[in-house]
Amino acid sequence: MTVTIKAKALEAFVADIFASAGCSKEEGTRIGRYLVSANLSGHDSHGVVRVPRYATNKKNGIVLPDVTVDVVIDTPVIAVVDGKHGFGQTVTPQAVRIGIDKCKVNGLSAVTLRNAGHIGRVGDWAEMAAAAGLVSIHFVNASGSVLVAPHGGVQRRFSTAPYCIGVPRPGQDPLVLDFATSIVAEGKVLVASQGGKKLPDGALIGPDGKPSSDPHTLYGDYVPAGPRDYSKGTGAIRAFGEHKGSGLAFMCELLGGSLSGNGATDPKRGRFANGMLSFYVDPKVIDPAGFFPVDVAKYVDFVKSSAHAAAGGEVLVPGEPEVRMRAERLANGVPLPDDTWAAIVETARSVGLDERRIQQATL
């Protein structure tokens, strides 16, 4: 069973929960906007399902409210940014803004971000750069979150280490390739464990090397509305794409983790932190003649014109499913499994949100 809530109402409810939890109103609003943006783009794994975990992390001091980042190294084209364990929805846009501003001056920039709270859907940051007309590439790791078995192994060695590329298109939605280097993001296991979309066959692997799609492989035992703790399970998520995806995950760990100073994923590091290396490129500097947008448009048409593998199928380009889902959910609301909604309402109560406000959200 699901409940369906209009995006604006959901954003406002999440904002009020985090304002009640001790964040500023502005930060609560940002958290609401970015979490709901993930739901709108169809990535429920990085949407409001995260509210209980974010609130617990705030309560336990794992993530800190209203942080202004430190710029540790600052050259005309490079910034090394420390997020100081602030909410990802607060410190990441600051780091991305630095990258955009440097790129606008120099045509190119590289920015690392370390010690960021969960930065959510990485595509949001590529979209922020694309809105400024920039191409961007992002290598991300999630130190403290060892979840993924490397190709050929069964033990957890990588985080779900996402990789993302954004390409702006004048007057159109950007092309955004944005995925975890695991077969599924951990949040998708979380969603499946709460009665949402089931996992693909073999997304997980047991300690005996047997493929699995049962969330218990990752979380061990749990009760429906209770927390999911991936330290309780004995299995792992599998890296996607055999040796190639596993190799990309490895490089995300080295670039998003080691090079940023976040540290490659380490089971001994208890505190969760995302690290990210981002490159920004201004196509207007590389290509003043304007060949790029014309050729991108031509190539998108060429790719999409391929004959379909299956009757009734179609060829989509990166970012297209998210754009479609956003239009659909903005019109019709965001569907949430009952368990997810119950856990959010429970979180609202636990942070002391006014009961009338909670009732208003549940109408």
DSSP string, 264-283: S--TT--S-EEEEEEEEE-H
Footprint of ligand NAD on residues 168-187 (CB under 6 A)?
Answer: 176-180, 184-185
Q: Which is nearer to ligand NAD, 23 or 126 (CB)?
A: 126
142 binds ligand NAD (CB under 6 A): yes
How many CA atoms does the CB half-sphere of 191 hold within 13 Å? 22
Q: Which is nearer to ligand NAD, 107 or 261 (CB)?
A: 261
Q: Which is nearer to ligand NAD, 175 or 348 (CB)?
A: 175
Footprint of ligand NAD on residues 107-136 (CB under 6 A)?
Answer: 118-123
Q: Which is nearer to ligand NAD, 55 or 323 (CB)?
A: 323
- Cα 142–Cα 145–Cα 149 angle in degrees, nearest 5: 100
Q: Is 32 exposed, middle or buried (0-12, 13-18, 19+ CB in 10 A)?
A: buried
Contact (CB, 8 A) for 114 and 81: yes
62 binds ligand NAD (CB under 6 A): no
Q: Which is nearer to ligand NAD, 108 or 165 (CB)?
A: 165
Task: Work out which of 20, 39, 46, 278 binds ligand NAD, going by CB under 6 A.
Answer: 46
φ and ψ of 163, to 5 deg:
-130, 140
Footprint of ligand NAD on residues 186-245 (CB under 6 A)?
Answer: 188
108-116/78-86 β-pairing: parallel
The residue type found at 95 is: A
Collapsing DSSP states into helix, strand and coil, what is residue 353?
A: coil
Task: Work out which of 170, 207, 290, 321 binds ligand NAD, going by CB under 6 A.
Answer: 321
Q: Is 350 exposed, middle or buried (0-12, 13-18, 19+ CB in 10 A)?
A: middle
316 binds ligand NAD (CB under 6 A): yes
Q: Which is nearer to ligand NAD, 285 or 330 (CB)?
A: 330
Task: Work out which of 52, 162, 166, 215 binds ligand NAD, going by CB under 6 A.
Answer: 162
Positions touching ligand NAD (CB under 6 A) are 43, 45-46, 118-123, 140, 142, 160, 162, 164, 176-180, 184-185, 188, 274, 316, 318-319, 321-322
